Structure 1
């Protein structure tokens, strides 16, 4: 792939705009030497305004999603893409969220431009554990853990029961719930099915990945070690 097309696909601009970056001398190598559009150089040696190129296609990143932010490219209000460099929204292939967290749920969100990787993460057969911390409006009854673990709970509008899920009660109104599937608003609907309401919801873990010390609203690119850790818990 020509250097101009590759840089354009990373979201730095249209091909015409990227051509202008070359003409203005803003594309250099690691030593600061100006590059030309037809130069053949390793991508990891290319700099734009002195900064290395963004990761190539196959990108996987982790975002600490704040409350009030929507997992969408077109919705009104604040979007997860507003927390990333603007060009990340223009990448080709598209950078997509791996599943969704609703506006009022915070925590660990993955994004990737690798369709096969996205499918592997969300595919039902992968059964990657997803761990949520839920704060409830009412005290737990005491039978929720057994009911969720039974694999017989049916949600309104569903035709198949939920897979067994593990509930760890922290106190009267806080619990940690581990799911092995990802149905629409599943955590909220599970607690609604037992007569409770989720007041706050935070995703702590996906597979073997946790947010660690990643601050609210911040993100980082995941490396091969992170990817191994992601699937280690499946």
Structure 2
């Protein structure tokens, strides 16, 4: 039986980005922290860190943020970078500001380049992150590519052959599945995550990707009602779909 973790309230809230221990102590004395409807004034108190804690604790009149183990589904807009440090608009800017201070940090599960949109997952669960991106898992990723030139009809067989070697590399790509949508649009399913892989695959057959959008990761599909720049938390059942 797994033992339920416990934490001091000030340490827990600090790790979730709410502020320093001193700030949490001041907030508690001012009546800003409620647990099960009652004022919690002693932030040195240890409490059980259970999944239902956000429904039982309030901080400044708002429900507690999700505890460690959150997984975020984001419809990444164009022009944003999957980085903590680069200049310009970052995907982390979309999330609540205090989430940038969480420990463990929230990180993207893999990356989409600046000019690629669509399904992006973020988490503070390092084990889950590594399971999803592990080459041994072969988690499928489906991209919709808009192309500069019409397909020739030979691309599908080459991509599926397992013999395509990208420029600057010596190891062939794993087989990928191409589904033609129109002469200049295709869905491509890959199970690897090499640098700019989809763009380089089409470049290898003399084409150029003009638009690129990730629609699916494993068995998880980007919801049609999640607009670019919007995000939501995944349920355990949805997280399991990644590995379907």
**What TM-score range do you get, normalising by the shorter chain?**
over 0.9
Q: What pairs up with 1:118-133 in 2 under 5 angstroms? A: 118-133=129-144
* Aligned-pair CA distance for 1:23: 2.4
Partners of 1:203 and 1:104 in 2: how far apart?
A: 11
Q: Deviations over 1:42-62 (max 9, x none)?
A: 551211022221111111111
Partners of 1:118 and 1:52 in 2: how far apart?
A: 26
Unaligned runs of 5+ in 2: 1-6
Per the alignment, residue 79 of structure 2 pairs with 68
TM-score, normalisation: structure 2: 0.91
Q: Does 1:215 align with 2:227?
A: yes
Q: Which of 11, 23, 34 matches 1:17?
A: 23
- Structure 1 ranges of 4+ moved more than 3 A: 38-43
Q: Does 1:48 align with 2:53?
A: no
Partners of 2:119 and 2:91 in 1: how far apart?
A: 12
Secondary structure, aligned partner of 2:243: helix
Q: Does 1:96 align with 2:107?
A: yes
Per the alignment, residue 181 of structure 1 pairs with 192
Partners of 1:46 and 1:103 in 2: how far apart?
A: 37
Task: Let me know the Cα RMSD of the aligned residues.
Answer: 1.2
Contact 2:119/2:222 (<8 A) preserved: yes
Q: Does 1:34 align with 2:39?
A: yes
* Aligned-pair CA distance for 1:118: 0.5
Mean Cα deviation higher: 222-231 or 132-141 = 222-231
Partners of 1:145 and 1:204 in 2: how far apart?
A: 19
Per the alignment, residue 155 of structure 1 pairs with 166
Per the alignment, residue 227 of structure 1 pairs with 239
Secondary structure, aligned partner of 2:113: coil
Secondary structure, aligned partner of 2:17: helix
Partners of 2:180 and 2:57 in 1: how far apart?
A: 51
TM-score, normalisation: structure 1: 0.95
Contact 2:8/2:47 (<8 A) preserved: no
Partners of 2:30 and 2:148 in 1: how far apart?
A: 59
Q: Does 1:134 align with 2:131?
A: no
Higher helix share: 1
Per the alignment, residue 216 of structure 2 pairs with 205
Secondary structure, aligned partner of 1:107: strand
Number of matched pairs: 231
Partners of 2:39 and 2:163 in 1: how far apart?
A: 64
Unaligned runs of 5+ in 1: none
